[in-house]
Chain A
Amino acid sequence: MSNAMHNKTLTELKAGLAAGDFSSRELTEHFLARIQQHDGELNSFITVTAEQALAQADAADTALAAGNGGLLTGLPIAHKDIFCTEGVRTSCGSKMLDSFIAPYTATVVEKMAAEGAVMLGKTNMDEFAMGSSNETSYYGPVKNPWNLERVPGGSSGGAAACLGARLAPGATGTDTGGSIRQPAALNNITGLKPTYGRVSRWGMIAFASSLDQAGPMAQSAEDCALMLQAMAGHDHRDSTSLNEKVDDYLGALNNDISGLTIGIPEEFFPDTLDGAIADNSRAAIRELEKLGAKVISVSLPSIKLSVPAYYVIAPAEASSNLSRFDGVRFGHRCDDPKDLEDLYKRSRSEGFGDEVKRRILVGAYALSAGYYDAYYRRAQQVRRLIRDDFARAFEKVDVLMGPTAPETAFKLGAKKDDPVSMYMADVFTIGVNLAGLPALSMPTGFINGLPTGTQVIGNYFREGQILNVAHKYQQATDWHKQAPAFGGDQ
């Protein structure tokens, strides 16, 4: 019986717990054992919190027995190591925070715990969420469970890989320029980046504050709806968290989608795009047409500027956000600083990896006197144009669809020395962050045994509709049910 547990969705596991098919302790032990057995190779976790997980599982079993279960009671969840967890190392994938034991817990983690979730551990990620391949992590690269020589995507690469390999049934991620959706696509899982402000950023270590958003990652849209139901909501500790009521995501999953209008932005299918990638997304869209959706072509003319605009705004904010890592109060401090300047220089030089340093330099440059107008201000103007493009499109359509990533998982090291080519991995996802819109990536087929994903972008606060569309698609197809051979039952 237990062998099958890891292939079940959160929704199925929830039903199993409710029916008493297994206990949360059994479930938790099962996943901990799988992590123990397989993660040495995959490297998807930075920290496994087995003891705490089992205590939470026991508490969940007690609650379930008493009929006091919440949305997620007894379900094992892996948290990206960007979320502060009190008493547990919160590294953000960086040497800078290798010794940082968070003194408090992020709202996302707190809310999920309040609904009974069991935390398995903290997942690997690109350092400070800066990367699209998980190769910038201080803790080493994560492998793609579909092909161990390939990257899992990033920055939520550990989360996506552990889900793909069935080492956890649900995981949190964060998405600043595609960091939930791109790894979701590369690992054949479903991931949702909510509307900016839908999920609290309190306790989530900031990369680019105006773009960062936490979201759920799981095997299915239905599971993402379950997790988002627990994660979303206003938080008075985050001024950018919006005081909008949380929709009934689970309740909307089965809404009829006939009459839905899907927009296909022509910019998401450029001539240069890999034909097989385009074909998979077009096939997914056709599947939805069969379910009654209407498809029209739209244009987002400014979207081509999203990568350059993003690579000014995100580094600019990051350069400021990462200033607090100065060796004074927490995090890495160099040995025997000879004076204050030496303390700053060496602590930061030693604590940060190359990609983080590159972005701090780029960001500081973009904000510096004499360049601000040419870079930062101009990028903000572009951002407005992109937002306006999306707004115009949403006057005509309910959702927009296109490929999540321009290619399948690439080989480890393939883009390490070519940052611009690496940045292009997020060409289809970044515009959504600049506009603050919600978007989901769902599995839509394979190319040479490697997963591809398709993005469903919704209007502001229409997470329910996106999840509904994806769920309907997943009811009709089984791409999302495919699991890699890695970690399979021998």
Chain B
Amino acid sequence: MSWEVVIGLEIHVQLNTVSKLFSGSKLSTGAEPNTQASLVDLGMPGTLPVVNKEAVRKAALFGLAINADICRHSVFERKNYFYPDLPKGYQTTQLAEPIVGAGIVEIQLESGEKKNVRIHHAHLEEDAGKSLHEDFHGMTGIDLNRAGTPLIEVVTEPDMSNAEEAVAFARKLHAIVTSIGICDGDMSQGNMRFDVNVSIRKPGDELGTRTETKNLNSFRFMEKAIALEVERQIDVLEDGGKIVQETRLYNGDTHTARSMRSKEDANDYRYFPCPDLLPVAITDADLEELKAAMPELPNARKARFIDDYQLSEYDADLLSGSVATATFFEAVSKAGGDAKLAANWVMGEMAARLNAEEKAISDSPVSAEQLGQLIARLKDGTISSKIAKQVFEACWAGEGDPDAIIEAKGLKQMSDSGELEKIVDDIIANNAPQVDDYRNSDDAKKKKKIGFFVGQAMKATQGKANPQQLNQLLQKKLQ
């Protein structure tokens, strides 16, 4: 009897504001420890927080993007606990009245199926600092540069039932926050952090005890960590054991996870409304202004791609998944004059090379204009698709624009039929046994055997023969 998997996510999205949530310090980008921490960030006695309006605006924009209710008077609360990198002894966060209420995110699965994942709420909160355990001889160094960085924590309902759905949701959320420009989406830097709650049960049973797995800094690790945890839970339960509610830490390098703390260690956080901050007021006018400024959302973009470019749902979903990819695709499509080819190249050759070299599309050595030019040459018959791959490689290697490469390497398809005819005649004259063999074969065999002559012709023309033209010519001459 199979197990049913129940997954919910908690996602910390670092807002790309200029300054911190409650102080004027700039957000840290690898600065020397404690150089981007003000009196407020250090929790100095007598200092007070002042909420960053830009962070509030970005959180509300996110709420609108997932069709959520926006709380008109959301309340900051203090979550009290002691930790060395938590300078005030409490984290300023939201609990009872978060800025973003219940919302919906629609995801697309590879099967073509769509699914709604419900968002329970999203709240604004400040990040903690960092504890540095190296270089301090048995002591811990504290870097408060990150302390006070604005986050929204997005909490889903337990609506996902396998790793594919969880990853599809995570990618969609990534697409949303990057599309509306509230987060740079860099998971490797922890700017988007996913915690996965997993439980299993027999179909029809109550929800099982869940565990939370942290530290998933890529979609791939998320997928693997879920599989690992599901497997572990099944093993435990099938061996007659019990799942302990706990927080687990996943290590992507070793593909292992370990228990970090159990529920028994949980603090009583003594939440209460922060008396230093007034409720965050959002007016109708604020919401109207935000709606007017709302950038195109991933699902709207996807619908447009389907309409404008006649892409499949799945292709459209992939290409609309990030602003960078979508922008790149549209530029290629425009420059190349063929959306289908553009989609194929961006998701095929291009994606493969980027993956292989672990590059972001924004760092691609082949620009959208260059790829577009390549596609244009492919489309107008200047080069064959085989040659196109060669040109792409040269372009990737920095040898110039496709046109220049084609010219310099003489890769233009042979379109002069007289020239090609002469080459074909030569091949037929010089390969009498193969010609006889071909002529004595039935149609099915002929189809295979013509390959020999095509190969010879390609060799003679260094691949520049137009494959269609060559085929027609060979068929005619070999009759």
Say which residue of A202, A240, A320, A328 sits within 8 Å of B46 (CB atoms): A202
Query: Is B48 among interface residues, defined by CB-CB distance under 8 A?
Result: yes
If A203-B46, A329-B42, A330-B45 touch, whether A320 touches B90 (CB-CB below 8 Å) is yes
Say which residue of A202, A319, A323, A367 sits within 8 Å of B48 (CB atoms): A202
CB pair A368–B270 under 8 Å, yes or no, is: yes
CB pair B276–A209 under 8 Å, yes or no, is: yes
Interface centre among A202, A236, A239 (most CB of B within 10 A): A239
Query: Is B123 among interface residues, defined by CB-CB distance under 8 A?
Result: no
If A316-B272, A320-B89, A320-B90 touch, whether A90 touches B48 (CB-CB below 8 Å) is no
CA distance A325 to B90 in the complex (A): 12
CB pair A372–B48 under 8 Å, yes or no, is: no
Say which residue of A100, A210, A316, A364 sits within 8 Å of B45 (CB atoms): A100
**B42 CB contacts on chain A under 8 angstroms:** 329
Contact with A along B258-282 (1 / 0, CB 8 A): 0000000000101110011110000
Closest Cβ neighbor of B267 among chain A residues: A369
Distance in Å: Cβ of A83 to nearest Cβ of chain B: 8
Query: Is A106 among interface residues, defined by CB-CB distance under 8 A?
Result: yes
CA distance A287 to B275 in the complex (A): 40
**A202 CB contacts on chain B under 8 angstroms:** 46-48
Closest Cβ neighbor of B39 among chain A residues: A104
Contact with A along B76-108 (1 / 0, CB 8 A): 001010101001111000000000000000000
Closest Cβ neighbor of A376 among chain B residues: B272
If A340-B84, A367-B80, A376-B272 touch, whether A84 touches B45 (CB-CB below 8 Å) is yes
Contact with B along A206-222 (1 / 0, CB 8 A): 10111000000000000
CB pair A210–B275 under 8 Å, yes or no, is: yes
Say which residue of B39, B44, B48 sits within 8 Å of A239 (CB atoms): B48
**A64 CB contacts on chain B under 8 angstroms:** none
Query: Is B181 among interface residues, defined by CB-CB distance under 8 A?
Result: no
CA distance A102 to B45 in the complex (A): 8
Query: Is A115 among interface residues, defined by CB-CB distance under 8 A?
Result: no
Distance in Å: Cβ of A371 to nearest Cβ of chain B: 10
CB pair A238–B142 under 8 Å, yes or no, is: no
Query: Is A205 among interface residues, defined by CB-CB distance under 8 A?
Result: yes
If A328-B142, A329-B87 touch, whether A206 touches B82 (CB-CB below 8 Å) is no
Query: Is B50 among interface residues, defined by CB-CB distance under 8 A?
Result: yes
Query: Is B427 among interface residues, defined by CB-CB distance under 8 A?
Result: no
Query: Is A204 among interface residues, defined by CB-CB distance under 8 A?
Result: yes
Closest Cβ neighbor of A337 among chain B residues: B139
CA distance A237 to B48 in the complex (A): 7
If A239-B277, A320-B78, A329-B43 touch, whether A367 touches B50 (CB-CB below 8 Å) is no
CB pair B45–A328 under 8 Å, yes or no, is: no
For the residues of B in contact with A, the DSSP-based class is loop
Query: Is A344 among interface residues, defined by CB-CB distance under 8 A?
Result: yes
**B277 CB contacts on chain A under 8 angstroms:** 239-240
Say which residue of A102, A239, A319, A323 sits within 8 Å of B88 (CB atoms): A323
Distance in Å: Cβ of B57 to nearest Cβ of chain A: 17
CA distance A238 to B268 in the complex (A): 29
**A398 CB contacts on chain B under 8 angstroms:** none
Query: Is A75 among interface residues, defined by CB-CB distance under 8 A?
Result: no
CA distance A240 to B227 in the complex (A): 49
Interface centre among B45, B47, B84 (most CB of A within 10 A): B45
Query: Is B49 among interface residues, defined by CB-CB distance under 8 A?
Result: yes
Query: Is A432 among interface residues, defined by CB-CB distance under 8 A?
Result: no
Interface residues of B in 431-473 (CB under 8 A from A): none
**A326 CB contacts on chain B under 8 angstroms:** 82, 84, 89
**B90 CB contacts on chain A under 8 angstroms:** 320, 323
CA distance A323 to B82 in the complex (A): 7
**A208 CB contacts on chain B under 8 angstroms:** 275
Contact with B along A186-209 (1 / 0, CB 8 A): 000000000000000111111011
CA distance A149 to B230 in the complex (A): 73
CA distance A324 to B276 in the complex (A): 15
Distance in Å: Cβ of A336 to nearest Cβ of chain B: 12
Distance in Å: Cβ of A313 to nearest Cβ of chain B: 9
Query: Is B51 among interface residues, defined by CB-CB distance under 8 A?
Result: yes
CA distance A376 to B50 in the complex (A): 25
CB pair B89–A324 under 8 Å, yes or no, is: yes
CB pair A317–B275 under 8 Å, yes or no, is: yes
Contact with A along B225-262 (1 / 0, CB 8 A): 00000000000000000000000000000000000000
CA distance A97 to B270 in the complex (A): 25
Interface centre among A204, A209, A326 (most CB of B within 10 A): A326
CB pair A239–B45 under 8 Å, yes or no, is: no
CA distance A147 to B268 in the complex (A): 47
If A320-B89, A324-B89, A329-B42 touch, whether A237 touches B50 (CB-CB below 8 Å) is yes
Residues of A within 8 A of B (CB): 83-84, 90, 92, 97, 100, 102-104, 106, 201-206, 208-210, 236-240, 316-317, 319-320, 322-326, 328-330, 340, 344, 364, 367-369, 372, 376
**14 pairs, CB–CB < 8 Å, chain A vs chain B:** A92-B45, A209-B275, A239-B276, A316-B272, A317-B272, A320-B78, A320-B270, A322-B89, A324-B43, A324-B87, A324-B88, A340-B84, A367-B80, A376-B272
Residues of B within 8 A of A (CB): 39, 42-51, 78, 80, 82, 84, 87-90, 140, 142, 268, 270-272, 275-278
A-B pairs, top 5 by smallest CB distance, nearest first, are A323-B89, A210-B275, A367-B270, A209-B275, A203-B46
